[in-house]
């Protein structure tokens, strides 16, 4: 059976921490779908089309990684794309506490989907999309924290 993982998030923007996690997960899964969640009640800095474009550009030569925007419940999207796993990255205990609750609820909603947690490499611990957005909004240099394909 093909091992398919969904890596959900807003990726606003995708960071080098996300890329590191995906690259490490490629050894674990046959396919990784970067699911870019669209929430009409959440304001993002970058358009959904731009975020999809960036992920496609980063992985244009990697057949194991696909990108797909989605709305609604993540576990329902897993069913739609045939993903048996949800991939989540953890930087610290706060991430774990937050992600554990979501993973447990997802398991109640769909017992066939397992959440897999990967600890981020230590070099990427302080990097988050929120911090990068703050840098961008305030004229800071975000280039060291985003892939070269993310052109601002």
Range of the domain at 40: 4-145
Please indicate, yes or no, whether the overall pTM of this predicted structure exceeds 0.85: yes
The two structure tokens encoding residue 99: 């992600």
Residue 80 falls inside a structural domain: yes
Residue 63 falls inside a structural domain: yes
Helix, strand, coil: what percent of the chain each, to 5? Answer: 40, 20, 40
Residue 150 falls inside a structural domain: no
CATH of the domain at 130: 3.40.50.620
Residue 96 falls inside a structural domain: yes
Residue 151 falls inside a structural domain: no
* Residue pLDDT, tens place only, 30-78: 999 999 998 777 789 999 999 999 999 999 999 999 999 999 999 999 9
Strand ranges of the sheet holding 65-70, from the earlier edge strand across to the other edge: 65-70, 31-37, 4-9, 85-90, 114-119
d(CA 41, CA 32): 27
* Residue pLDDT, tens place only, 2-29: 999 999 999 999 999 999 999 999 999 9
d(CA 55, CA 45): 16
Residue 16 falls inside a structural domain: yes
Total domains in the fold of the chain: 1
Residue 31 falls inside a structural domain: yes
Residue spans of alpha helices (H) in 65-143: 74-81, 93-109, 129-137
């Amino acid at each position: 059976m093909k091992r398919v993982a969904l890596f959900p998030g807003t990726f606003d923007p995708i960071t080098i921490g996300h890329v590191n996690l995906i690259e490490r997960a490629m050894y674990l899964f046959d396919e990784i779908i970067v699911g870019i969640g669209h929430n009409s009640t959440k304001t993002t800095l970058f358009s959904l089309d731009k975020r999809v474009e960036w992920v496609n550009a980063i992985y244009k030569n990697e057949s194991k990684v696909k990108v797909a925007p989605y709305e609604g419940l993540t576990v329902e999207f897993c069913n739609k794309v045939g993903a048996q796993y949800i991939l989540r990255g953890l930087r610290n205990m706060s991430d774990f506490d937050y992600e554990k609750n979501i993973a447990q609820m997802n398991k109640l909603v769909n017992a066939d989907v397992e959440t897999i947690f990967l600890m981020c490499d230590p070099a990427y611990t302080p990097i988050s999309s929120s911090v990068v957005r703050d840098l961008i909004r305030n004229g800071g240099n975000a280039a060291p924290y985003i892939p070269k394909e993310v052109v601002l």
